[in-house]
């Protein structure tokens, strides 16, 4: 367990925040600091074919130790952290034998991690928690995943009696800004399927995610001196308001859960002359997803028909799709992960992701890729924490999947 704690901390103290405004890969130079360290570490533990390309994508191989043919499987994590909250100068706190009470993250600033607010904490009574000091995020998303994959590979190398096929490992930059899969060379990776170790609480196993699109709604008005505006001025902000109010009021993130989709108005920039609305559209169901996009276009057409000229211009771009379509035909890859968890006494929590993962993009690039828990909670903020026992279990799940894949093929 100490091995995992030390390894995890050696990663989270390196700042790897990504930056959506940058067009380079990786989006920030500091991601190289951890990437280069990971390459050295993979070599040190005895991984083969350790490579890092010009975009900082890392790949490595653990060769098969059996004589029969076994499918090649992969394990993938990302080493960047979200730009939503600072990841610089992470100062982790280790809470041993957690007593189920409030954890004071920062005495000076009165920042407390409390089970009153985060009741998930209570399932980890008696365990060892790693938290922040309340001023940064922790980076368990997804340095816990990296810790688990490397620790599992080290374990398999040191225990050749555990039989497994060829295993590929992949670490990517820029997942948090939606680009983790963009420059991932699926062919070079050469796995039949893979798992991202990027889920949250222990037991999570996910192979369904949203279909996702972004919509930019440009509303064009007409500015005229307010004193002489009668019959001439068109105030784009009023038209935009009409548009907003015409979408279903309860189909928003704050009113939906599980398989319910939504329209999310993420920003408004308005003047009389022009107002720009940014929406994201999400739905697990492909048909409902298409219908949502149509609803936006139809609404714009309807409003446009009330004016002599086009006042609303809609631009919709698909962002990613539900991986279910690509995973269902190869459902055994989910079954193996579920079986691995059960054999280790972990209750599988199979549920749809209300978001996307690198795995959804990779699945559409030809690498079916469900997502497995990495163990952390409260990602992307100061209350992020990870139970060490969950990281140990995730490490065991990786080893067990490798073992079962060799056994069943």
Q: How far is the CB of 165 from Zn ion (least distance, A)?
A: 26
Is 389 marked within a binding site?
Answer: no
Q: How far is the CB of 242 from Zn ion (least distance, A)?
A: 38
DSSP reduced 3-state for 283: strand
- Determine whether 80 is an active site residue: yes
CB–CB of 342/393 below 8 Å?
no
Handedness of CA 187, 188, 192, 198 (dihedral sign): negative
Is 141 marked within a binding site?
Answer: yes
C-alpha dist (Å) from residue 62 to 45, 75, 144, 407? 10, 11, 20, 17
C-alpha dist (Å) from residue 231 to 222, 223, 224, 226, 311? 11, 12, 10, 11, 16
Nearer to Zn ion by C-beta: 137 or 401? 137
Q: C-alpha angle 146/2/119, rounded to 5°?
A: 75
- Determine whether 185 is an active site residue: no
Is 380 marked within a binding site?
Answer: yes
Catalytic residue among 19, 41, 174, 175: 175
Q: How far is the CB of 160 from Zn ion (least distance, A)?
A: 32
Catalytic residue among 80, 148, 204, 384: 80
Please name which of 217, 197, 133, 239 lies closest in space to residue 376, comparing C-alpha atoms.
197
Q: Per CB under 5 A, which region of 66-74, 153-161, 179-187, 196-204 contacts Zn ion?
A: 196-204
In eight-state DSSP terms, residue 127 is S
Residue 357 token pair: 């993962």
Q: Per CB under 5 A, which region of 48-56, 68-76, 87-95, 195-203 contacts Zn ion?
A: 195-203
Site string for Zn ion, 224-263 (x = CB under 5 A): ----------------------------------------
Residues in the chain: 409
Return all residues near 372 (Cβ < 8 A) that are at least 6 apart: 195, 196, 197, 198, 199, 204, 205, 206, 337, 394, 397
Nearer to Zn ion by C-beta: 18 or 405? 18
Nearer to Zn ion by C-beta: 113 or 144? 144
Nearer to Zn ion by C-beta: 183 or 218? 183
Contact with Zn ion (CB under 5 A) among 41, 174, 192, 198:
198
Helices (H), 211-369: 236-246, 286-304, 324-327, 332-343, 358-364
Q: How far is the CB of 381 from Zn ion (least distance, A)?
A: 13
Q: How far is the CB of 141 from Zn ion (least distance, A)?
A: 4
End-to-end Cα spacing for the chain:
32
In eight-state DSSP terms, residue 286 is H
Concatenate the DSSP letters of all residues of 304-319 into one string.
Answer: HTTSSS--EEEEEEEE
Is 294 marked within a binding site?
Answer: no
Q: How far is the CB of 163 from Zn ion (least distance, A)?
A: 31
What residues are paired with 58 via a beta bridge? Answer: 52, 171
Nearer to Zn ion by C-beta: 103 or 137? 137
Backbone angles phi, psi at 262, to 5 degrees: -160, 165
Q: What gap in Å lies between CA 401 and CA 28, rounded to an integer?
A: 34
Return the residues of window 115-144 that contact Zn ion according to CB under 5 A.
141-142
User: How many positions of this chain bind Zn ion (CB under 5 A)?
Assistant: 3
Binding site feature residues for Zn(2+) = 78, 141, 176, 198, 380
Which residues lie near Zn ion (CB under 5 A)? 141-142, 198
Q: Residues comprising the binding site?
A: 78, 141, 176, 198, 380
Residues annotated as catalytic are 80, 175
């Amino acid at each position: 367990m100490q091995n995992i704690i030390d390894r995890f901390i050696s990663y989270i103290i390196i700042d790897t925040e990504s930056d959506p405004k940058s067009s380079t890969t990786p989006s920030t130079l500091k991601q190289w600091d951890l990437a280069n360290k990971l390459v050295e570490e993979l070599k040190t533990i005895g991984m083969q074919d350790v490579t890092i390309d010009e975009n900082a994508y890392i790949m490595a191989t653990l060769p098969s130790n059996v004589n029969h043919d076994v499918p090649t499987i992969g394990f993938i994590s990302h080493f960047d952290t979200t730009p939503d909250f600072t990841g610089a100068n992470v100062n982790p706190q280790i809470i041993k034998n957690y007593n189920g009470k409030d954890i004071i993250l920062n005495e000076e600033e009165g920042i407390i991690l409390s089970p009153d607010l985060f009741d998930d904490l209570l399932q980890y009574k008696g365990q060892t928690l790693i938290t922040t000091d309340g001023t940064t995020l922790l980076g368990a998303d997804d340095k816990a995943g990296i810790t688990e994959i490397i620790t599992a590979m080290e374990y398999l190398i040191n225990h050749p009696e555990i039989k497994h096929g060829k295993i590929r490992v992949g670490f990517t930059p820029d997942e948090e800004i939606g680009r983790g899969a963009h420059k991932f060379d699926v062919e070079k990776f050469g796995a039949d399927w893979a798992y991202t170790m990027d889920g949250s609480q222990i037991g999570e196993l996910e192979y369904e995610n949203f279909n996702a699109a972004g919509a930019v709604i440009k509303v064009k008005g007409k500015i005229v001196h307010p004193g002489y505006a009668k019959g001439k001025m068109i105030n784009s902000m009023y038209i935009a308001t009409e548009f907003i109010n015409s979408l279903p009021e309860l189909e928003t993130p704050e009113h939906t859960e599980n398989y319910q989709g939504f329209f999310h108005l993420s920003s408004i920039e308005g003047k009389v002359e022009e107002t720009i609305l940014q929406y994201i559209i999400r739905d697990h169901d492909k048909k409902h997803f298409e219908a949502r996009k149509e609803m936006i276009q139809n609404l714009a057409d309807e409003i446009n028909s009330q004016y002599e000229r086009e006042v609303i211009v809609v631009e919709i771009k698909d962002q990613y799709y539900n991986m279910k379509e690509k995973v269902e035909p190869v459902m055994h890859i989910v079954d193996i992960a579920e079986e691995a968890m059960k054999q280790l006494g972990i209750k599988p929590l199979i549920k749809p992701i209300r978001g996307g993962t690198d795995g959804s993009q990779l699945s559409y690039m030809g690498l079916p890729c469900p997502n497995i828990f990495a163990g952390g909670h409260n990602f992307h903020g100061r209350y992020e924490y990870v139970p060490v026992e969950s990281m140990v279990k995730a490490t065991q799940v990786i080893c067990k999947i490798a073992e079962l894949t060799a056994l069943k093929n």
